[in-house]
Chain A
Amino acid sequence: MTIDSAGPGAPSGLDDLGEPDRPATAASPGTRDERSARDTGPLRDRDSAPDGSSSVRGPAGHRGAVDPVKALMHRHRELCERAVDPLEIAAGLEAHGVTDRTAARLRHRDVFSLAEEMYARAARDGDSAPRTETPGHPGTRAYWAALALVPGALGTAVVVGLRLTDGNQRLAVAAFGALAMASGLHVALRRGPLSTPHRTANAARAWTCWLVTYALVGDGLLSAGQDGGPDGPWPLATASVPALSLACAPAAWCAHLFAVRARRRLSASRGLEEFAASVRPLLLGAFTLFLCALGGLLALSGTVLNESPAYAGAGALGALLLLARLLTTRGFTRAPGRALAGAGATEATALATVFAARLPGCSFLATPVDSLIGAAGPGAVPALACGAGALVLLVQATRTLTRASAHAPPCEAP
């Protein structure tokens, strides 16, 4: 387009213009201007071309009625409207070939003072253009959403395997299943809304493994230990494992929902307080949604496996894990680490006290756990430990995840 305008038809035009800064050449100022003149022309054509001639070509000086600076401003209209200070106009003008000699012809000392006049005279509308949302890639979305189902499938398969086998075979299935589930979880968490660029501490991983293991074996072992056992294999709480592993999918979906909605609120809000106020219900809503989904899954797996699921213990554990992951993905690694460690340590202590109470003279150690179990059954221990941790994290999350800086786009190289 640039080329055509300065092409074969141009010599006659050049002859009668004779001015050094004709717009339609080179470095594309002309290209943009001409196109935008056609698009948004009527807005400013009126005041810059009173003689009715083509305003884009309106040169300085030849047609005395036109203010030369106004003609120049019209030519660099987009630059003037976009500019945030006079130096930006100066830089843009220089990039388009305007020199101090040009400025001198317009009765200015240098380009800077010309730019100042243009900046002062340019009409800028205060409204900023609405940000364009960057759409996510649908392909990757389907990918992570499907991957989030992997741990659930593996967990179900392992529990079915445990039910069908016995003895040594059962042990092998359990060991293999644990490995498979760990790697499945790793794969599922590498993509999507629950993935994190921050390094997860190894301690946090270890505590997570321990918490999940306790959910499987802990309650049975605790009651067996209280009764003086365990004599042989104790009953496993198999219903919570498939439910928790299947809950990875709703966790990822809820996290995605929260992230997307929060980003939308972010681009709409004008102040930090306003943003925090609008995100808090969002966070609580997503969290409640996840809890409902987890409860449904627990009930389902309990029905299918014909077992009464530990709603309180498994639910609290799921809530704790989700909140810990949400905080970790946004760079807050300290509180989740402590909460996981606290819950894990509480459960381990409960088990240890029950067995330590068998030592001579130490029977008092088991008193708190005994009274707790007596009041609410063995499921009360994980429910209390994880529930307390989850509550702490929930308070932390309502404080930190409602900050705008937690939802800043990831920092990439400029």
Chain B
Amino acid sequence: MLVRIGLLTEGGYPYVSGDAGLWCDRLVRGLGRHEFDIYALSRTERQEDQGWIQLPPQVKRVRTAPLWTAHSDGVVYGRRARRRFAEAYGELAAAVCAGPEAAGTEASGNPADSVAAQADRFASALYGLAELARDEGGLIGALRSESAVRALERACRVPGALRTARTARVPDLLSVAAHIERTLRPLSLDWYEDDALGSADLCHAAAGGAAALPGLLARHFLGVPLLVTEYGVQLRAHYLAAATLEEAPAVRALLAAFHGRLATEVYRAAAIVTPGNAHARRWQERCGADRAKLRTVHPGMEAARFADVGEAVRGSRCADPDTLVWVGRIEPAKDLISLLHAFAEIRRAEPKTRLRIIGAPAEGPDGATYLAHCKALAAQLFPDEAEGVHAVGDNPVSFEEIGGPEIPSLAEAYACGALIVLSSVVEGFPVSLVEAMLCGRATVSTDVGAVVEVIGGTGLVVPPRNPRALAEACVALLRDPERRERLGAAARARALELFTVEQNITAFHGIYLEIVSHSPVRRVIVDEEGEPLPFGVPAEAHVPGRWTEPRLMTAGRPRWAEGAPVRATAPLTAPVPAPGPVSVSVGEGA
């Protein structure tokens, strides 16, 4: 069955410099049987200038809009439109500014009910603004106008508003209004027509936040179901970004509330939400996503690159049984210091071991400084060693980069060690751990981010910042090659099952079909004059799957339904069976 997917992205695919570009590209290429329309919001002018990546033929249409600039279309509202705007924006501001105290003192008394009431209020205000933008235009100017600022001020001053919001000064109100205007720019787009997002069977937002806004509106205006994929939770990213801004507390509080309500509405409206890992899932649950809607779809990694190393025969598999390997980008969050200290303990137990640290320093001065410091520490802890008095010595810890003569590729980097070590203190989704698993290597990693979820018992996990525990785990594995083999094989099997591109694409394919079958878009077919065409959509269109295909007919029809329908009792008169009922009975019988 062919599904037409409206893929909504923000600051990523199909632009060259994008966030989730690789994932989207693999998804689109992997689902060649479906059609994709890409609706992309660009984040900066530079990104737009750099152009797109090459798109496969299943991409039928690309529409883009800038988020970084907006020109007011010069529409000045009349009195009625002004009142509509003031009402909708006032509701939005009130929903954003409402504090927990206000929620508790509402008439219902039940906090859960009043939270839902606030979410409803936010949603209706948001859709009110979107309808206004669709009917009248001119929303961008209105969102920056004095009446917006005034509505915010009023909402901040009501009793029961957020405690921090009450301290808002005029510049704070202005910057909140400006930020809301920036975020709500997708409301003014012309994508919500029958020939744009209306022609899609489902909208797939590649991220939450601004990317999901067009999906929300498409669902509201046109009834197109929405699928939201979040590999990193947008709200959390907003919090982390806001921590670096020098804004007043009132601004941060209001913006946090705004983004929180927006996230809640996105999760509420979405047919299915797919977090990338358990961590994202927890955040989404926290923001009010219904558990029944959540399907974790792990990101996919390209397994073919590591097939040679992973499938190598046992004897040649461990080139050097005494080598530990660490692969990654060298930055303070990886805590190489701790790894070096752990290695010092390992050397005390197993003097022959070597440590190869493979990777480039992170961009910026921090990475280079950290690398230099690690090298100095390694030189301090481990003197150069030589085999005899006549041989040239070497340090047991080496810092290497991929691309050199010894390590031409990433797979080789993993292949050259018996044991892969991960020592991070902060980690999101540990890509290098998955790569090590795909290579069939035993791993010792620290318990951070999604590590436990990824490794799932096929490797050793120690607490972060605990060199002694790390050393003990490494020594245990170094002394037990059998266990290493076992763990490596199990890790590879697990990675192949959970973290390949294929499983990622299959999962989304299944979710697409599920959404389309559960909530098909009901369209009214019109003739040339614009009159609705009765029976324009056949009854079969409402049944999942393509029922007119002969293969499916014979396979899906039970034996008793084969052939023409037969009446149980002979009728008194013998009418000729009309062709119409036949098809209906087939549809119902199966």
Contact = CB atoms under 8 A, between A and B. Distances in A.
Residue among B235, B332, B334, B370 with most chain A CB within 10 A: B332
A400 to B, nearest CB: 8
A129 B247 CA distance: 9
A6 B338 contact: yes
A266 B174 CA distance: 10
Contact of B182 (A269, A270, A411): A411
A87 B286 contact: yes
A272 B168 CA distance: 11
Contact of A112 (B172, B256, B286, B426): B286
A85 B333 CA distance: 26
A132 B246 contact: yes
Interface stretch (B13-21, B146-154, B307-315, B493-501): B146-154
B373 interface: yes
Interface centre among B69, B240, B377, B463 (most CB of A within 10 A): B463
A159 B468 CA distance: 89
B448 A99 contact: yes
A213 B297 CA distance: 72
Interface in B266-288: 279, 282, 286
A110 B175 CA distance: 34
Given A14-B465, A408-B178, A87 B171 contact: no
Contacts of B344: 11
Interface stretch (A15-23, A135-143, A302-310): A15-23
Interface size class of B (residues with CB under 8 A): 35 or more
Contacts of B144: 405, 408, 411
Contacts of A2: 332
A271 B337 contact: no
A92 B341 CA distance: 27
Contacts of B467: 11, 14
Contacts of A272: 146, 149-150, 153, 170, 173
Given A101-B447, A404-B149, A405-B149, A82 B248 contact: no
Contacts of A275: 170
B335 to A, nearest CB: 5
A84 B448 contact: no
Contacts of B163: 126
Given A270-B169, A405-B145, A413-B68, A87 B465 contact: no
B182 A414 contact: yes
A97 interface: yes
Given A20-B464, A405-B144, A87 B260 contact: yes
B82 to A, nearest CB: 14
Nearest to B287: A87
Interface string B218-236: 0000000000000000011
B252 A126 contact: no
Contacts of B257: 85
Nearest to B140: A411
B45 A413 contact: yes
B164 interface: yes
A406 B177 CA distance: 13
B425 A25 contact: yes
User: Chain A: interface secondary structure?
Assistant: loop
A8 B376 CA distance: 10
Contacts of A95: 240, 426
A84 B465 contact: no
A97 B464 contact: yes
Contacts of B44: 413
Interface in B167-226: 167, 169-175, 177-179, 181-182
Contacts of A18: 466, 468
**Most chain B Cβ neighbours within 10 Å, of A84, A110, A331:** A84
Contacts of A6: 337-338
Interface in A250-283: 266-267, 269-272, 275
B253 A85 contact: yes
Given A84-B252, A85-B256, A91 B181 contact: no
Contacts of A85: 253, 256-257, 260
B239 interface: yes
Given A88-B239, A128-B167, A132-B246, A97 B425 contact: yes
A25 B344 CA distance: 19
Contacts of B279: 94
Contacts of A405: 144-146, 148-149, 174, 177
Given A84-B252, A88-B239, A404-B149, A10 B341 contact: yes
A284 interface: no
Nearest to A198: B72
B448 A97 contact: yes
A26 B182 contact: no
Contact of B426 (A3, A27, A91, A270): A27
A133 to B, nearest CB: 11
A87 B425 contact: no
A7 B337 contact: yes
B328 to A, nearest CB: 13
Interface string B32-58: 000000000001110000000000000
Contact of A20 (B145, B252, B253, B466): B466
A404 B170 contact: yes
20 contacts: A3-B369, A6-B338, A14-B465, A21-B465, A26-B424, A28-B332, A82-B249, A85-B256, A95-B426, A97-B425, A131-B248, A269-B170, A270-B170, A272-B170, A272-B173, A404-B149, A405-B149, A405-B177, A409-B178, A414-B182
Minimum-distance CB pairs A-B, first 3 = A84-B253, A413-B68, A20-B463
Given A87-B235, A272-B173, 16 more contacts: A14-B341, A25-B337, A25-B425, A85-B253, A87-B286, A91-B240, A97-B448, A99-B449, A126-B163, A267-B171, A404-B146, A405-B148, A405-B174, A407-B174, A408-B144, A409-B178
